[in-house]
Every structure is written in C-alpha cells, then in structure tokens.
Amino acid sequence: EVSEMSESSKQNVAHGLAWSYYIGYLKIVLPRVKKSMEEFSRANPNMLVCRETWKLHILVPLSCDIYDDLEKADSNIQYLTDLAETTLSRAGTKKRVYKHSLYTIRDEDKLWHCAVEFATPLQTLYAMSQDEAAAFSREDRLEQAKLFYRTLEEILKGSKECAGTYRLIVYEGSGETQTHFLSREILGHLWQQCHEEYAVCVGKHLPAPSPTLDSTELNLQISESDLPQPLRSDFF
C-alpha cells in the first residue's frame, strides 16, 4: 500500500534519479577531477589561478531547462578543451569513456576557466513533463527538481570520496529575459570560491550567487521520514 501511494504521487522519481546520478556517475568521476585539473594546470599555468575552483561545477536549473551546447545558452561561455579522460569497463561496456569539458567564462575585463556541465538527470524530469504517458505535470517537475537537488546535496555531503571536488549551482528560471544570465551565475560562484579561500581574490568583485538559492539556505521542506515526501512549491 505504501509503495502504491508513493508511486501514484511520484515521490520516488527525484530520489531515485539523484542516487543513480551519484552511484553511476559522480562517485566515479569526481574523485578524479582534481588530478585532471592539476595536469591541465601544469601545462597551462596561467589559466587555473585559483585552486578552489578546481572542481566540477554542476548546473542545477530548477526549471529543468538544459542546453546541450553551453555556448548557445550564453555567448560569454566558450568551450576551451576537454580534461584528461577516464576509461573504465562498466556494465558490460569495455573502455567506457568519462570526460569533462573546460570552459572559458568571460567577464567584462577578465577570463575565468572552469569545468562545468548540467546535471543530466534533470533532462529526464523535463522529458517526463512533456510526455502524456508519464502523467507528470509542470508542478510535479518543479517539486521533483527541488527534491533532486536536496537529495543530491545530502548524498554528496556524506561522501568522503567526493569532498571538495564539486560545486552545485542551483538557480531558478532559464534566464531567457536576462543577458548573460548563466555566465553571471557561474561567475558569482567562481568569485565566491576564491573569496572564501583568499583574503584578496584576483580580479574585480562579482555579485555572489542569489542568496535565496544558496545551497546552505535553500529551504525545500524535506520530510524527516525515510520515504521521500512531496514538496511545497510556494517558496519559489
């Protein structure tokens, strides 16, 4: 009966997606990120000047609006190169390749460089909201996007292997009405990481990420029970 209630209210969708994303991807690639960044930095010593940004920056749009090409999403974001690949045999696939792309993020008078990508499971939530067979409304999508973020955040906080290797960038909307919305979100996080580590950060001050969506302040009203519960969406 509990299982049927959970399935009918779609309470397990985001919870399962977050764990699958972690077990099947992040737990594999994140422990290798810093080594890849170190290798790139040795070959390009003037690019990655702030070690605190040597992480995988994971974009989490609560709208689930994901771009396959970041350069088309924001012209201030330009692909630079790929970091060193990780090759593993997984689930019967020989030499499966895992890699991350390094991007140049342009400020008015400064260039930043970081590894950044979208949280791909959000594509599933968006696709479900577009498929009649899934019976998944836009309201369901928003609630599940919040739950996905909160669940993933808690999983990663408890992961010793992934400590200090990632930065979750959660934000609301797609920025269609704001010029360079996405690059400004990323730049805010890059500056904040440098500012938190160093008394003086190279470059000018940038606005910090939106405080209402900061990972330490975002209140999603997750139930304390073991079973994931529906979320209220009136906080956004």
Give 202-213 pLDDT, tens digit per residue. Answer: 444 444 555 445
Residue 174 falls inside a structural domain = yes
Confidence (pLDDT) at 2: 39
In this structure, of 25-34, 42-51, 219-228, the range with the lowest mean pLDDT score is 219-228
Residue 228 falls inside a structural domain = no
In this structure, of 10-24, 49-63, 145-159, the range with the lowest mean pLDDT score is 10-24
Residue 235 falls inside a structural domain = no
What is the domain range of residue 35? 12-202
Q: Is the pTM of this model over 0.85?
A: no
Residue 229 falls inside a structural domain = no
Confidence (pLDDT) at 215: 46
pLDDT over threshold 50, residue 221:
no
Residue 2 falls inside a structural domain = no
pLDDT over threshold 70, residue 37:
yes
In this structure, of 60-64, 74-78, 83-87, the range with the lowest mean pLDDT score is 83-87
Q: How far is CA 193 from the centre of its chain?
A: 15
What is the sign of the dihedral through the CA atoms of 64, 68, 70 and 73? negative
pLDDT over threshold 90, residue 198:
no
CATH of the domain at 169: 3.40.50.12100
Confidence of residue 230 (pLDDT cuts 50, 70, 90): very low
Between these two residues, 77 and 224, which has the higher pLDDT value?
77
Domain count, the chain: 1
Residue 94 falls inside a structural domain = yes
pLDDT over threshold 60, residue 192:
yes
Return mean pLDDT, the chain. 81
- At 105-114, the pLDDT tens digits run 998 888 999 9
Residue 212 falls inside a structural domain = no
Mean pLDDT of 150-179: 88
Share of the chain above pLDDT 70, in %: 76
Regarding beta strands 101-106 and 77-82, do their DSSP bridges make them parallel or antiparallel, or are they unpaired?
antiparallel
pLDDT over threshold 90, residue 19:
yes
* Max avg pLDDT among 39-53, 121-135, 145-159: 145-159
Confidence (pLDDT) at 210: 52
Residue 224 falls inside a structural domain = no
Between these two residues, 3 and 65, which has the higher pLDDT value?
65
Confidence (pLDDT) at 218: 52
pLDDT over threshold 90, residue 46:
no
Confidence of residue 57 (pLDDT cuts 50, 70, 90): very high
Mean pLDDT of 138-164: 94
